[in-house]
Amino acid sequence: MRLPGFYPVVDSASWVSRLTGAGARLVQLRIKSDDTVRLSREIDAALAACQAAGALLVVNDHWELAVAQGAQALHLGQEDLDTADLPAIRRAGLKLGVSTHDEAELDRALSVAPDYVALGPIWPTTLKKMPWAPQGLARLGAWRARIGALPLVAIGGITLERARACRAAGADAVAVVSDVLAHADPEARARAWIAAVETD
């Protein structure tokens, strides 16, 4: 699996549509809700937006809906791995990305043969509370050395100004929420990210 460098993580199909319109070719739909009607509607709309743009949608957490609705990729954290039916996910042909935050989590992630591994938070993030200290760029390099050719995603506290350093340290893709979504002009910011991380 080859990942585009810019990997926005968003909470609605409307954002998926806006950012694919700005050129994103890899987008994660991360909706923290149990409302399956709403989730299903959002996944459908996000899949349609990605299909129209030639982009890959990664559904976060909601593996049953991702399978049922014909998604092509899924992101799971370590707790999600406790409950997900990995054989069913594989049978449905979904690509799988897995979060990691320490060595033990990396071992577990590698044991499920993921299509990419994510490491975070690289810098402090305000989006969610996490028990891990910021990993830093050196850890990203260590993950690169550990996982060989497997695609590596950096996430957490990453700004446009920091994105290239993540790539230089070994990340194939750089995931981002706040630096793009909270920007005064998110589409322009997305284009700047793409220029920064997808031109080499």
Ligand X SMILES: Cc1ncc(COP(=O)(O)OP(=O)(O)O)c(N)n1
Q: Return residues touching ligand 3NM (CB under 6 A).
A: 99, 120-121, 125, 127-128, 130, 155-158, 176-178
Report the C-alpha gap between 125 and 82 in whole angstroms: 25
Closer of 49 and 121 to ligand 3NM (Cβ): 121
Closer of 38 and 184 to ligand X (Cβ): 38
155 is in an annotated binding site: no
Residue 97 engages Mg ion in binding (rule: CB under 5 A): no
Closer of 39 and 176 to ligand 3NM (Cβ): 176
Report the C-alpha gap between 8 and 61 in whole angstroms: 16
Q: Which does 153 bind (CB under 5 to 8 A by kind): Mg ion, ligand X, ligand 3NM, none?
A: ligand X
Q: Minimum distance between the CB of residue 188 and Mg ion, rounded to whole angstroms?
A: 29
139 is in an annotated binding site: no
Give exposure, 48-85, as e/b (b: 16+ Cβ within 10 Å): ebbeebebbbbbbbbbebbbebebbbbbbbeebbeebe
Residues, the chain = 200
Report the C-alpha gap between 131 and 101 in whole angstroms: 9
Binding-site annotation: residue ranges for Mg(2+): 61, 80
